[in-house]
Amino acid sequence: MPRTNAYTSGNQKRRLRVSIRELARHLNVSIGTVSRALNGRSDVSEETRQRVLAAADALGYSPNQSGRSLRQGVTGMVALILPTSGKTALADTIFMSVLEGLRAFLDDRKLDLMVLLSGPEENAYAYLRRVAARRLADGLIIAETQRLDPRIDYLLEKDIPFVAFGRSRSGSGYPWIDLDFEGVAEAAVAHLAGLGHRRIAVATAASDINYSFVFADAFEAAMRGFGLPFDPALVLRVENSDDGGYAFGNLIFAMPEPPTAVVLVNEFMAIGLYRSLKERGLTPGRDLSIVGFQEEPNSRLLAPPVTCFRTALPDLGARLGEALLATIPAHAPPETAGTIIQELWPMEFAQGQSDGPPRS
């Protein structure tokens, strides 16, 4: 019987799992360079990182057989990988309430939750691979899902149990839970149109996070659906923060014909937008109608209170746990084992005082 060659031809993967030493030799770089690239270290150029990751995938490199270890479900741990940007305080985001619901759900099932923070200087894909390689958890929850997200493709390829907090165009047939951004956009436009507004702007995120695109598309569909003129110039991409809200205010008031109402995709934007209005001697709800997104503690302190949406965030965390456990044979309840849960989480309109009819 002929001996199998170590490498297959063309773009096919290697039949036998390569070691990190063989991967380094194939790339003609040091083992340290390969290790730093795979671990997402900042002292490796992006070009080198991508070259190493591509070769690792092509040659079938899988450190410590991480996928197999995760599938066996032996740690009793679930890990949530949460990217951080430094723009907002973690304790003030919706994640804290979601995490508490998730933690309580897992605790009832004698499982533990770890939260792993991926910093802005790190490559999210490389960080995920490093976490998977260390076999820290039986399943993963990924957040800040991108429009095209290589993490999803990697987890599907390696058959690692996971759930995404947010949809993506990458992959298919994987579990996800996402906020109902389409429902929020439609309800916000319907409310403002009912008050008589026709020129409405939207502030969405200036990043590749998928919900910013989902929300912008849903806003356009809602405007057209209610027979309102849609102006692409009124879809503004700004930072997901109070600074972004302030910049948004400056942008709309610099327009020859400013909008009479706005919809925000992030709760923190309202803080900066209020500041922008105050500097101009304008009042929210009277001079500009504002519909925010998720109700959160800081926005409740604004005067007047922001008209926005609310939802049961701890229950959302528990549902993320249910969706994840359904994919882990060692932990899945019989009634949900093997089920792929994909769900839009409902948001309820909460009347505040930052909206009103347009000024004549």
Residue 243: give its domain's CATH number. Answer: 3.40.50.2300
Q: For residue 239, what are the β-bridge partners?
A: none
Residue 12 lies in a domain: no
What residue has token string 């990043």? 207
Separation CA 58–CA 52 (nearest Å): 10
Helix (H) or strand (E) holding 21, with range, is helix 20-27
Residues 254 and 205 in one domain: yes
* 8 A C-beta contact, residue 182 and residue 218: yes
CATH of the domain at 31: 1.10.260.40
Residues 136 and 196 in one domain: no
What residue has token string 């380094």? 24
Q: For residue 294, what are the β-bridge partners?
A: 309
* Percent of the chain scoring above 70 in pLDDT: 87
Number of domains in the chain: 3
* 8 A C-beta contact, residue 330 and residue 74: yes
**Alpha-carbon distances, residue 228 vs 102, 165, 220, 251, 339 (angstroms):** 40, 32, 10, 22, 41
Q: Please give the pLDDT value at position 65.
A: 47
Q: Please give the pLDDT value at position 42.
A: 67
Residue 3 lies in a domain: no
Please identify, among 32, 63, 94, the residue that sits at the C-terminal boundary of a domain: 63
Identify the CA nearest to 319 among candidates 141, 74, 158.
Answer: 141
Residues 102 and 167 in one domain: yes
Q: How far is CA 340 from the centre of its chain?
A: 19
* Percent of the chain scoring above 90 in pLDDT: 59
The average confidence (pLDDT) of the chain is 87
Residues 326 and 233 in one domain: no
Residue 11 lies in a domain: no
* 8 A C-beta contact, residue 151 and residue 315: no
Residues 174 and 215 in one domain: no
**Helix residue ranges, H only, 60-207:** 66-72, 95-108, 124-133, 150-157, 181-194
Provide the 3-class DSSP secondary structure of residue 83.
strand
Residue 360 lies in a domain: no
In order along its 360 residues, the chain shows pLDDT tens digits of 333 333 333 344 434 567 888 888 889 998 888 888 887 666 788 888 889 888 888 887 766 544 444 445 468 999 999 877 655 444 445 678 899 999 999 999 999 999 998 877 778 888 999 898 888 899 999 998 999 999 999 999 999 999 999 999 999 999 999 999 999 999 999 999 999 999 999 999 988 899 999 999 999 999 999 999 999 999 999 998 889 999 999 999 999 999 999 999 988 899 999 999 999 999 999 999 999 998 877 667 889 999 999 999 999 999 999 999 999 988 888 888 889 999 999 999 999 999 999 987
Determine the residue type at 307.
Answer: T
Residue 33 belongs to domain spanning: 20-63
Residues 298 and 317 in one domain: no
How does 308-331 read in b/e, with b if 16+ C-beta sit within 10 Å? Answer: bbebebbebbbbbbbbbbbbbeeb
Residues 173 and 189 in one domain: no
- Per-residue pLDDT tens over the stretch 115-147: 998 877 778 888 999 898 888 899 999 998 999
